Amino acid sequence: MNKLAYEIVRSSKRTKVTITVERDRAVIVHVPEATPDDEIKRIVGNKRQWILEKIHHPQKYRNRKHPPGKEVVNGESAPYLGRDYRIQVIETQSGAVEFEEGFLVPPSYLGRRRKVLRDWYIGRANEVIASRALTHARELGVECKGVQIVDTPYRWGSCTTSGKVRFNWRLIKAPIFAIDYVIVHELAHLLEANHSARFWSIVNARSSTAAKAKAWLKEHGQLLEEEV
C-alpha cells in the first residue's frame, strides 16, 4: 500500500481533528496541539479512501509542465475583477501602472513588467478586498482583528485562531461575487470553526451566490493562480 503524504498543523485552540485536501492535492491534517502522532496516523488511515477520492477528484488542479502565463506586451490581456482587459505599453502620467478600461504599463518597466503588474494587483487587493472584508465583518457582527493580503498559492483565504483573516492577492482577478463569497466563508469561521451545518447556514444567508461563486472558482481557479 502506497504511503499517504500529509502535513500536520497543530493548534492549541482546536478541539477536534479535521482533514482538508487543497486544490494542489496537498493533504493537511489540523489537530489539537497535544494529539499523539499515533492517533493522527490512525485517523488518517481510517480516512484513507476518502482522502484518495478527494486527491483524484477532477476538480483538483491538474499538473502542468508549462503553465501558460501571460507576457506583458501590447495586445495581450490580463484579468481584473472577473474580466479580461487589454494591456497597452505606453507612458503614463504617474510613471506607474495605471488602469483606464485597460492596463497601461510604462515601457520603462521593460524586463520587469510582470512584477510591476503583480504589485499593482496586490495594491488593489489591499484596497478592494480588505475594505469589503471589514464591511462584511460589521454586517455579520463578528470581531475581525485584522485583514491581510498574502501570497498563499492554492488557498484563497484563511482564518487564524487570533481572529485575523487572510486572503490570496490573486482573488482580485475574480468577480466581486466570488471575492465576497471567500470573504464571508473565512469570516464565518470566526463564528463556527468547522464546516458544520451551522457554518454553511451562516455562509448561505450572507452570500446568496455562494453556489455560483464556488462553481466559478472551481472552473477558473487554476487560471487565477497564473503569475499574471
* pLDDT for res 99: 92
Residue 211 or residue 13, greater confidence = 211
* pLDDT class of 131 with cuts at 50, 70, 90: very high
**CA–CA separation, 185 and 200 (whole Å):** 8
At 71 the pLDDT is 62
Picking from 51-55, 69-73, 115-119, 171-175, which range would have the lowest pLDDT averaged per residue? Answer: 69-73
Average pLDDT over every residue of 196-204: 90
Stretch 34-55: mean pLDDT, rounded?
A: 90
CA distances for 215 relative to 37, 44, 59, 104, 178, angstroms: 36, 28, 10, 31, 9
* C-alpha cell, 64: 502542468
* Stretch among 14-18, 59-63, 217-221 having the lowest mean pLDDT: 59-63
More confident residue, 223 or 96: 96
pLDDT at 62: 52
Cell digits of residue 164: 485575523
Distant-in-sequence contacts of 58-66, Cβ < 8 A, 24+ apart: 59/218, 60/21, 60/23, 60/24, 60/25, 61/23, 61/24, 61/25, 61/154, 61/221, 61/222, 61/225, 62/222
Q: Is the pLDDT of residue 57 over 80?
A: no
Q: What is the mean pLDDT of the chain?
A: 85
Confidence band of 221 (pLDDT split at 50, 70, 90)? confident
What residue ranges define each of the domains in the chain, with the CATH number in brackets?
7-55 (no CATH), 112-224 (3.30.2010.10)
Q: What is the pLDDT of residue 201?
A: 92
| The three grid cell numbers given for residue 185, joined into one nine-digit string | 466563508
